[in-house]
Amino acid sequence: MEKSSRSLLTYVLVYLTFLYAPVFLLPIFAFNDSAIISLPLSGFTFDWFLMLWQTKALHEAFYNSMMIALISASLSTTLGIFAARATSRFEFPGKRGIVGFLMLPLVLPEIIVGVALLVVMIQLGLSLSAWTVVIGHVLVCTPFAIAILSSAFNSFDISLEEASLDLGVNKIGTFFRVILPMVAPGIISSFLIAFTISLDEFIIAFFLTGTDATLPVYIWGQLRFPARLPSIMALGFLMVLLSLLLLLVAEYFRRRSTQFSANSSASNESIL
Amino acid sequence: MANSSEISYLQQPAKRTFWSIPKAYQDSARGYFLISPPLLYSLVMLAAPLVLVVLLSLWTQNYLELDRTITLKNYVEAVTEPLYGLLISRSLMISGMVTLATVILAYPIAYYVAMFGGKRKSMWLLLITIPFWTSYLIRIFLWKVILGYNGVINGSLMGLGLIEEPLTFILYNANAVVLTLAHAWAPFAILPIYVSLSRIDKSLLEAARDLSDNAFQRFFRVTLPLSMPGVVAACLIVFIPTVGDYVTPKLLGGTDGLMIANMIQIQFGKANNAPLGSALAVVAMFIVAAISISFVLLTRRFLKTKG
């Protein structure tokens, strides 16, 4: 057993190297003093970060992406709260089918979502804007929000809710004063995950963006110009740091949201 | 997702005999009321647009005008034109290879974390998901840097004197697309397999050992069959979205790596033939759904005969 687990560990380490290979290259080329992205390395520079600071189109794309991610994350988390509350506390006919339908975007190729919304916009004669991207991103983020929030809503003790009702607090008061504080870590975690997904989403944004390019759409445009690549590496490096920060905060709150449950492994599973 | 508190809640009719019958209706009503906002959103923003895509695929594009007479012309073109057939079958082939590679490579990782992770399971899972949170586009571009003519692999192999000329078979073909997608979808395969592995009752493995099964027999007769739900889920989660991938084939696929999504994009963009693009999307979606459903049915039967 000992021996087989050790050879398995070797495989795990090789696999992790494969997973991390691109991530490790990012800072190397972000600080490399050469306009061509290739080995061998020449010298150390901050120029590419300075170049980012001076590119106005990038700042606009960054602003668009931030706004889109903020609104998409808020909306999908709100929809997720409704769905998670409904499925965790109430039984109703067709529940499985409805939840399956809500989770559909998880297994639908993104290009289909993009195409479908594009067709609607063209047929209704509406122009594409940041809002059409928001509509698409809410669709894609909601299943993740539902998965995270369901585990949060499932893992707190219902007797607390009943106690509040027995003590004469009405349903709305109970929701805001008992349920919401209990699931707050799950809400924060859901918001941050949805935010990160929206920030990084490319295919739907590419189809629906109109003139307000998002950050990934801007990057896609720049990938064609070899001269712009080193600064894109620098941008990627900054985005990795931002995503990591958001992810760690989300993970911290997700753990807090599951510590109410008696069996923490059960709630770890239901997130998936 | 049923949990213990929910069950105990339902098992308390004794206290609430007076309420028990109307409560079921009351519960359904409140459940429907609460689920309606997300449901309405998905109906209006997803189901209705998908219906419109099907409708559009039955119309035809005459330069700038849209002819709204119902016809199957686009479908006939989608099925008879060899290029589209080629792109669809290539997409399915590449996605199939990606799925196979991703799941086979991921299984031992999930197995290690579930069986030997001990108290550090969450740390391992976090470690596996971190690379996934770096920008998708940039990650794929970096694979181009790794695999390229002057890339990291060729650079290091030439630096070590192992090869004279840069290897050209590693970029701009289907291999590059498979490798990059196997990387991009790794966490989506690892997590479901991990979940089903960690649900396996360890006493079953002990029983197998007591009945003198060796390690291989234990794995193939107990662990693998019991982890099949996770494997099936992983296959579907990886296969379905990769068929529609657009970025990786465009950046790394060269001419013989282009997939159906690139053609759909061209029809909606440069070719200005949205109806044909819709028909291609519908055909692709239909084939993917058919494959996924038959895959689930086949594996279900396999699981049943195994007991």
pLDDT tens-digit profile of B241-283?
888 888 888 888 877 778 898 899 899 888 888 899 999 999 9
Specify if A6 maps to a domain: no
CATH value at residue A66: 1.10.3720.10
A264 pLDDT more than 50: no
The answer to whether B28 contacts A25, with C-beta atoms less than 8 Å apart, is no
Backbone angles phi, psi at A230, to 5 degrees: -60, -40
Taking the model in full, what pTM does it have?
Answer: 0.81
- Please state the length of chain B: 307
Burial (0-12, 13-18, 19+ Cβ within 10 Å), A107 = middle
Question: What's the pLDDT tens digit per position in A128-145?
Answer: 888 999 999 999 999 999
How many structural domains are present in chain A?
Answer: 1
- Tokens in use for B164? 């004279």
- Choose among B53, B133, B244: nearest Cβ to A243: B133
Q: Is residue A33 part of a domain?
A: no
pLDDT digits (tens, 9 = 90+) for B24-76: 777 788 888 889 999 999 999 999 999 999 998 998 887 777 778 888 888 99
Residues spanned by the domain of A206: 55-270
Tokens standing for residue B148? 């390229």
Q: Count the helices and strands in chain A (H runs, E runs).
A: 13, 0
Question: What's A227's DSSP letter?
Answer: G
pLDDT tier for residue A40 given thresholds of 50, 70 and 90 = low
Closest partner CB to B152 (pick from A25, A122, A142): A25
Residue A140, token pair as written in the block: 């894609």
Q: What CATH number is given for B74-305 in this structure?
A: 1.10.3720.10
Looking at the complex, report in whole angstroms how far the Cα of residue A202 sits from the nearest Cα belonging to chain B: 8
Q: How confident is the model at residue A269, as a pLDDT?
A: 41
Q: Which residue has the higher pLDDT, B167 or A37?
A: B167
Across B211-230, average pLDDT:
85
Residues A15, B137: C-beta atoms closer than 8 Å: no
A99: left (phi over 0), alpha (psi -120 to 50) or beta: alpha
Q: Is residue A15 part of a domain?
A: no
SS3 B18: helix
Helix ranges restricted to H, chain B: 4-10, 17-42, 48-57, 73-80, 82-116, 121-129, 136-147, 152-159, 174-184, 186-198, 202-210, 215-218, 224-243, 247-252, 260-268, 274-305
Measure in Å the smallest separation between the Cα of B245 and chain A Cα atoms: 7
Region B230-234: mean pLDDT is 90
Q: How far apart are CA B114 and CA A67, in angstroms?
A: 39
Which chain A residues contact residue B278 at CB under 8 A?
Answer: 115, 119
Q: Which of B56, B152, B244 sits opposite A39 (nearest CB)?
A: B152
- A81-131, pLDDT tens digit by residue? 999 999 888 888 888 899 999 998 888 888 888 989 988 888 888 888 889
Q: CB distance B27–A146 less than 8 Å?
A: no
Q: Is the CB of A104 less than 8 angstroms away from the CB of B136?
A: no
Residue-wise pLDDT for B164-185, tens only, equals 777 777 778 888 889 999 999 9
Which amino acid is residue B148, in one-letter code? G
